[in-house]
Amino acid sequence: WKDKNSIHLGCNEKFAQTVGYSIEDIIGKSDFDLPWASQAAKYKVDDEDVIKSGKPKLNIEDVIINAEGESRHVLSNKVPLRDLQGRIIGILGIATDVTHLKMIEEKLSIAKEAAEAASRAKSVFIANISHDTRTPLTGVIGLSQALEVEHISDKERIEYAKLIHDSGDSLLEFSERVLDDVTADALTEDKLAQESFDIRKVINDVIRLEHPTTEVNHL
């Protein structure tokens, strides 16, 4: 507890242990004389608010520096200190060390961010799967329909059958890539490889697979 000038009038043993002084040594000192001097101006403002308003100031989040130089998160509550006539003569404060709770809160926040990132990655992954499976599946379905058309030539049937085979290969290759991604956590740098590809060939392959479907739909 302090007077109207934020000079300490007394404290309990726990407060004295945190400061690293005896109770007698703390009496007569301000927060500017204690280990948390860098925060003292802020504490003084809170004290003056309570003294001027005559109302408690509750659940104030503060950081103090203890005798070991450690930063501790505390939750402070300050109320007016009155004499027997009810006049305000200072403030009475209680600080609760919530450092452990703060650490848990930070860990939960990190876990929440990680979960949200995983959810976003899952959405992107599903979107990619949908896209990468749709093209070969469309090719298989479209080419199967094309084979049912009676007036196509034997040469076209052979070509469409080969395209169905190619589409199946594409699906199998994609499935293997998905399995590789699932086990990616076990990869090390020596297992990673960089490969080039022919973008023109990829585009032409897609056109080649989609073309029979467009022909059937046109018919």
pLDDT in tens, 116-149: 888 887 777 777 777 677 767 777 777 777 777 6
Mean pLDDT along residues 47-57: 92
Write the single-letter amino acid at 176. E
pLDDT of 55-108, one tens digit each? 999 988 888 888 788 888 888 899 999 999 999 999 999 988 888 888 888 888
Q: Is the pTM of this model over 0.85?
A: no
